Structure 1
């Protein structure tokens, strides 16, 4: 479908008509059960995607919209159940609301002028920037928007990207694009990576995630001003529901819950550059196969997901069993002499000793971090301890509390870790100076490597799995 201002206005006109008349929705929406007024349940409509709702490696629901929705129901309607209506694409989200199939849309919806004619938006809870994405192996970065003349640009139908392109078309009347139905931004980004499309548009947080999987994706330029993301409801919704939603977002912004969730899902974005990802993907094919069985055995020994252990090993040694640092830290898991002695290792360069010893040491650190700290933050702090030592992580937690931050939140503790090199702070703490930026880089890199492995490598079932280790 050729994208033009006329076409986009026609789409909005159809949606408006649906809200005012008996417009026939898609079969998929018709198949969704309606809201039952006799049931104590809050129904959310969303769509599958890494920035909304998906099933994790344990086949359990995950995603920032899923977590926010679950928290909201516990906060505002503790005696109600929660139900999710999953639609095929973002273009089905607002029609599902307008057909009375859900109370709330939690689907990474940008607040746009045209959408505000259709629905009521909550207080925004996230900010994003639309970005034009291209394949850096095939195309050069465009110098300006005129370089897009004759290029193939495709975006999902019914998205805010269409609206932004329509706005640009008022100034650049030569601008054309394709609107694809029954697809999503992730699929179009994959097509760009595969050389099937010249360009697509993606929100910055999604583009950052996908660049970890496809290092040949690059940002050409920002498109328009920054967007606000919010929940949506139909205009005939109970005003009390909107008040509860806004109060909920106000609460989780104030107490740090929202900041922690955003960090959990997006905090590791942009930590790796194109060369990092390219090299890592290459070595997962050439070096990792030699050691997968050892990482899986280490998972059986400790209950820690083998992909997290492999990610730690790669960040430490790049899977080079002979790797030795100037401070004599050695082997696949880069064990110090003291750690090796503690774990009973006689040869740090032997992968059969190094990998299980590193896994047992990480488990020991996880068990050292206070049990009240929820996952995945507990594991993140253990990973930081693996890099810099538990004592300095504890200093950072003490400092976080002094500064009015949450000492049990990785999103806050990583802010104070970097302050441990500042005399103003470290001189007041028990264990003194530390290069606190290093463990932050270490943890965020490990998170990125783990996520890439989870996309490309299956999990390993182990009867001894003890922890739900960080998945994002």
Structure 2
């Protein structure tokens, strides 16, 4: 089973980066990279092809226009992310189709760009309209989204004016929808070709009264701008789909057939949960895929209840233990490393047997594995770093480092601290520094060291990564 991951912190990071960018159309913003699934992604120059001749079902090469934003597609540390991107990737992987991506920063350009570039299809949070826009067609709904009215918290009067992107596909949906959701407002359409993110920033600055976006986009913006609040849902369960070139009916039909067969699979549903898990203040207004989003947000992994129980037994914050598991196994219970470490907490069989009385046949069972891992943590805590001058925070860091490299190496680093007039009771810039030094013969051969060479850079990175996870988890859980 796959981990339920909340991506809001990562999406916020992208959103903040976007806030400093100028908005230019058709600007390819990412360099060459090869996706881990084998789907090709690369920067492209403008050129025109005939999409009918280059049928991707035959050529196995698809040209995709995709909006570069925090919901649909972005690149972080060399990896591609995004809700629509990852859903489409499932289809492309099954059909063994490579994908050339043309990044578009502004959704307003998407339809014209689809034809200008000879693209086969386009991806964004496209709300499927009752009356399709000319020269394009849409897939069946890939998920349902709630469109919400966002305002500044200081605006206490009734909202009468909303500002929307001129000619954007979601605006076409609102204009043509039979429920007439815009009739109760005076609508201002942007004269400039802006983005929804820019409009949300304008709401935050009180430059405009309100705007309408998808609930997930609102959630990301509200995490960055806490003064933004939701006024109400404008449209509940609006259908979101992919946009296709009007000549790509065969491709659209192939995708729709695949969608019917795969929409309820664990891979598909996992991606939806990963990206569409919203903060609690939105959870009271909307539901996602039949689950309360408040309920979804309360979950770090499928094993939270087990983690909470056994973290409490050793007096640790369960979110710190969850952060360690995230780093060790990414919540994959059947993972086995090349070194033989097993399960969620990547415990060695001998360690599991000694400290948790867990046998080889049970080591991959989540509860047994977490029992073994947490008891090993308690053993380290009871036998090392007993100096009363060590703060709780520093002791936790020493134990995390010990879990990765062994307590002996951490004690060596503390001994080196004493020799080189650093503080042996402090992790940052002290024990951490000497652990890094243990990659050099001068230090690991020092007579105060008993355990020799240590891959200190791995251990310090390990500890600091866990602390970053923990910071995110304590913010949201």
- How does the TM-score come out when normalised to structure 2? 0.50
Q: Secondary structure at the match of 1:153?
A: strand
CA separation in 2, counterparts of 1:173 and 1:208? Answer: 24
Select the structure of larger CA radius of gyration. Answer: 2
Counterpart secondary structure, 1:94: helix
- 2:70 — aligned with what? 50
Q: Which of these residues, 11, 23, 46, is aligned with residue 32 of structure 1?
A: 46
What is the rounded CA distance, in whole Å, between the counterparts of 2:45 and 2:184 in structure 1?
Answer: 40
Q: 1:204 to 1:264 in 2, by over 3 A?
A: same
Corresponding residue number in structure 1 for 2:380? 342
Pairwise CA distance, 1:188: 1.5
C-alpha deviation, 1:225, in angstroms: 4.4
Give yes or no for the alignment of 1:59 onto 2:58.
Answer: no
- Let me know the Cα RMSD of the aligned residues: 4.2
| Correspondent of 1:188 among 194, 199, 207 | 199
Q: Is the 8 A contact 2:114 2:122 kept in 1?
A: yes
8 Å Cα contact 2:66/2:122 also seen in 1: yes
Map of 2:155 onto structure 1: 139
Is 1:223 matched up with 2:234? yes
SS of equivalent to 1:223? strand
Q: CA distance change for structure 1 residues 257 and 35 in 2, over 3 Å: closer, same or farther? A: farther
> How many pairs align?
285
Rounded to whole Å, the distance in 1 between the matches of 2:235 and 2:325 is: 47
> How far is 1:48 from its partner?
0.6
Structure 1 partner of 2:100? 83
Asked whether the equivalents of residues 131 and 176 of structure 2 are also in contact (C-alpha less than 8 Å), the reply is: no
Query: In structure 1, which of residues 348, 351, 356 is the aligned counterpart of residue 393 of structure 2?
Result: 351
Contact 1:44–1:106 at 8 Å: present in 2 too? yes
Contact 2:216 2:278 in 1 (8 A): no
5 Å-filtered alignment, 1:51-130, equals 51-56=71-76, 58-76=77-95, 78=96, 80-99=97-116, 101-130=118-147
Counterpart of 1:266 (choices 276, 281, 293) is 276
Out of 141, 158, 163, the position equivalent to 2:168 is 158
Q: Secondary structure at the match of 1:232?
A: strand
Unpaired runs of at least 5, structure 2? 1-24, 29-43, 285-319, 331-373, 407-456
Following TM superposition, by how much is the alpha carbon of 1:263 offset from its aligned partner in structure 2, in angstroms? 1.1
Conserved? CA contact 1:157–1:181, under 8 Å: no
Offset of residue 134 of structure 1: 0.6
- Offset, 1:87: 1.5
Q: Secondary structure at the match of 1:212?
A: helix
User: Are 2:219 and 2:282, in contact at CA under 8 Å, matched by a contact in 1?
Assistant: no
Give the Å deviation of 1:51: 1.1
> Equivalents in 1 of 2:405, 2:255: separation in Å?
39
- What is the distance in 1 between the residues matched to 2:162 and 2:222? 20
In structure 2, the partner of 1:445 is none
**215-224 or 27-36, which moves further after superposition?**
27-36
What's the offset of the Cα at 1:203? 0.5
- Cα pair distance change 1:254/1:304, threshold 3 Å: closer
CA–CA separation in structure 2 for the residues paired with 1:172 and 1:71: 39
What is the TM-score of this pair, normalised by structure 1?
Answer: 0.51
Distance, in Å, in 1 between the alignment partners of 2:169 and 2:404 is 43
Report if aligned partners of 2:119, 2:245 keep a CA contact under 8 Å in 1: no
Residue 179 in 1 paired to residue 190 in 2? yes
Give matches, 1:300-339, under 5 Å: 339=377
Residue 96 of structure 1: CA displacement?
Answer: 2.3
- The corresponding residue for 2:258 is 248
SS in 1 for 2:69: coil
Assess, with a 3 A threshold, how the Cα gap between structure 1 residues 169 and 260 changes in structure 2: closer, same or farther.
closer
Unaligned runs of 5+ in 1: 1-25, 275-297, 309-335, 365-461
> What is the CA distance between 1:256 and its match in structure 2?
1.8
In structure 1, C-alpha distance between the alignment counterparts of 2:213 and 2:270, rounded to whole Å: 23
With over 3 angstroms needed to count, the CA separation of the structure-2 counterparts of 1:72 and 1:266, relative to structure 1, is: same
